[in-house]
Amino acid sequence: MMTTEPRTDRPVVKLFNGRYTIESTATSDHRTFWVRRQDDKDEFAPGKRIVYLLTGPKNDDLDSYTPFAFVDDDGIHVWHSKAQRSKLWAIYADMLWTLALDGAFSPWATKQGYRILVEGACVRCNRVLTEPTSIRTGIGPICAELGF
């Protein structure tokens, strides 16, 4: 009998580092998240994995993202300081976690009509793609306007 599960003594990562865009199929609204590990030399949370939400204009610049939670193999843990101010952070965390793990079988997909898109790079200039249409076509809006 064959199995598709990798055999390893190490734990399997459930949510990989990278950028994820969640899109509403009803409205086409979307949000982009970046999961990344802090450098061991960082002052804040060295070595910890953090979830960021794109809130600024540059999808490849960490300064355009707002950090709001730690992530480990048990889930996304919204910081108390964020959770106190808005329930939206917990909603984002649940949406990202369940869509990343369960995909089309997630209640966010089956009942709410959301889908998750994994980070891509433009085939021409290699810039990060976070717009749903760009991720699907593999080309960014600037390169598309230039006719590539």
pTM of the predicted structure, to 2 decimals: 0.85
Whether 113 is covered by a domain: the verdict is: yes
Whether 141 is covered by a domain: the verdict is: no
Whether 58 is covered by a domain: the verdict is: yes
Please work out, in degrees rounded to the nearest 5, the angle formed at the alpha carbon of residue 140 by the alpha carbons of 134 and 142: 140
CA-CA distance, 136 to 46, in Å (whole number)?
34
Whether 37 is covered by a domain: the verdict is: yes
CA-CA distance, 34 to 54, in Å (whole number)?
8
Neighbours of 134 (CB within 10 A): 23
User: Total domain count for the chain?
Assistant: 1
Whether 125 is covered by a domain: the verdict is: no
Digitized pLDDT (tens) for each residue of the chain, 148 residues in all: 445 555 555 555 688 899 999 999 999 999 999 999 999 999 999 999 999 999 999 999 999 999 999 999 899 999 999 999 999 999 999 999 999 999 999 999 999 999 999 988 888 888 899 889 898 888 999 999 988 7
Q: Backbone phi, then psi, for 41, in 5-degree steps?
A: -95, -5
CB 134 within 8 A of CB 119: no
Whether 11 is covered by a domain: the verdict is: no
Whether 91 is covered by a domain: the verdict is: yes
